[in-house]
């Protein structure tokens, strides 16, 4: 199986949040099963935003790179096809949410479009944020 990761799954590992145990169990499970992991280049950019906002950017950058290497996470670049699909998804969202205010931003839709193009499932801690043509699951759900 091929899984694309939302930024929040990787951040969970580094922030030691409430999802940490399940997040780390998921990464071990993926490694044991030999599944493939991908992130969109916008996820990579979001990770580096956090790195550059940290107290120790050089150290945090090394930690992220080591984590991605150890877990064999590949960065997938945005193609024109993915950009077009992200724009379509975002436009639909804006039209639906017009009266209720904007809560999501374009990078979320790029992540979703990349997942549709390159993966079987998008893994996120916020599955209700996505309406895609592939499965969207939490790390817990995909391991069941």
**Residue 103 clears pLDDT 90, i.e. is over it:** no
The pLDDT mean for the chain works out to 94
Q: For residue 46, is it within any domain?
A: yes
pLDDT band with cut points at 50, 70 and 90 for residue 133: very high
- The boundaries of the domain holding residue 38 are 2-139
Q: For residue 63, is it within any domain?
A: yes
Q: For residue 54, is it within any domain?
A: yes
Q: For residue 66, is it within any domain?
A: yes
Detail the DSSP E strand segments found in the chain.
2-5, 36-40, 73-76, 121-123, 135-137
Beta bridge partners of 122: 4, 136
Q: Return the closest-CA partner of residue 41 out of 76, 9, 10, 89.
A: 76
Rounded to an integer, what distance in angstroms lies between the CA atom of residue 109 and that of residue 102?
13
Share of the chain above pLDDT 70, in %: 95
Q: For residue 89, is it within any domain?
A: yes
- What is the value of pTM for the model shown? 0.93
What domain count does the chain have?
1
Q: For residue 47, is it within any domain?
A: yes
Q: For residue 80, is it within any domain?
A: yes
Q: Which pLDDT does position 95 carry in this prediction?
A: 86
**What is the average per-residue pLDDT within 55-76?**
97
**Residue 46 clears pLDDT 70, i.e. is over it:** yes
Q: For residue 144, is it within any domain?
A: no
Q: Which pLDDT does position 100 carry in this prediction?
A: 61
Instruction: Kindly report the CATH number assigned to the domain that includes residue 126.
Output: 3.40.50.1010
Q: Which pLDDT does position 104 carry in this prediction?
A: 74
């Amino acid at each position: 199986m091929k899984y694309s990761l939302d930024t929040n799954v990787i951040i969970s590992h580094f922030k030691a949040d409430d999802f940490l145990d399940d997040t780390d169990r998921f990464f071990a499970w993926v490694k044991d099963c030999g599944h493939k992991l991908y992130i969109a280049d916008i996820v990579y950019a979001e990770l580096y935003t956090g790195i550059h906002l940290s107290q120790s950017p050089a150290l945090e950058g090394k930690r992220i790179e080591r984590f991605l290497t150890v877990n064999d996470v590949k960065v997938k670049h945005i193609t024109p096809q993915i950009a077009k699909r992200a724009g379509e998804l975002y436009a639909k969202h804006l039209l639906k949410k017009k009266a209720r205010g904007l809560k999501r931003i374009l990078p979320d839709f790029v992540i979703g479009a990349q997942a549709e193009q390159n993966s079987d499932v998008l893994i996120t801690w916020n599955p209700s944020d996505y309406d895609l043509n592939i499965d969207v699951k939490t790390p817990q759900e995909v391991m069941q």
